[in-house]
Homo-oligomer: A and B are copies of this chain.
Amino acid sequence: MHQISSSVFSNAVEQLASLPGIGNKTAVRLALHLLNRDADEIEKFGKAFLELAQEINYCSTCFNISNHSTCDICANPARNTELICVVENILDVIAIENTHQFNGTYHVLGGIISPMEGVGPNDIRIAELIERIKNEPVREVIMALSTTMEGDATNFYIYRKLSELDVEVSTIARGVGIGDEIEYTDELTLGRSIVNRVPFKNTLTI
């Protein structure tokens, strides 16, 4: 591809193209879009990431990103700290918060065990989870990881580690999605939904 003879421009393009899902052509388009803005608007764009680099904080309890050393969820006295939902990343926290169905706290692992990508149990925040359970009155840990091979491996590793402690371990329900048709549901999911069936009267409370 023809090189643009401006190093500041091609540098900006390169940085944008380093993001996942953004190719070179899109990056040029985005950089041109930025260039159409006033200089101080472009500066504001750049400064947002300088601040991200310098000022980002993680909650010292659950490792959610936060303005303070304790995040809003952990600091909220209305949340049930006896219940910890274990998730892979912050997107999962957002997704679960959006359901308005969970009143406990979270533990963000910051990844899942993946031997293929060289991520071992010590590369994610499992030790911190165990420490938390030992020091706080935690009653139940809800595993909410993806049903991939890596997710299952992480689930099992944590389950084994926690079996030594006085805490219940549960996992979120897998089954036919609400609005999904039975005939188009894959066999694994449908099979699991039959094995893990629930009393009908329980579904009436939702």
Chain A interface extent, by class: 35 or more
Whether, in the assembled complex, A4 has its beta carbon less than 8 Å from a beta carbon of chain B, the answer is yes
| A183 vs chain B, min Cβ distance (A) | 30
CA distance A73 to B66 in the complex (A): 49
User: A29-B91, A46-B47, A49-B12 are contacts. A73–B4 as well, Cβ < 8 Å?
Assistant: no
Contacts of A7 in B (CB 8 A): 67
Interface centre among A4, A14, A55 (most CB of B within 10 A): A4
DSSP majority for the A interface? helix
CA distance A26 to B199 in the complex (A): 38
| Further 12 A-B residue pairs, CB within 8 A, beyond A11-B52, A19-B30 | A1-B98, A2-B93, A7-B67, A9-B65, A14-B48, A19-B34, A20-B29, A40-B53, A43-B49, A46-B48, A46-B51, A47-B50
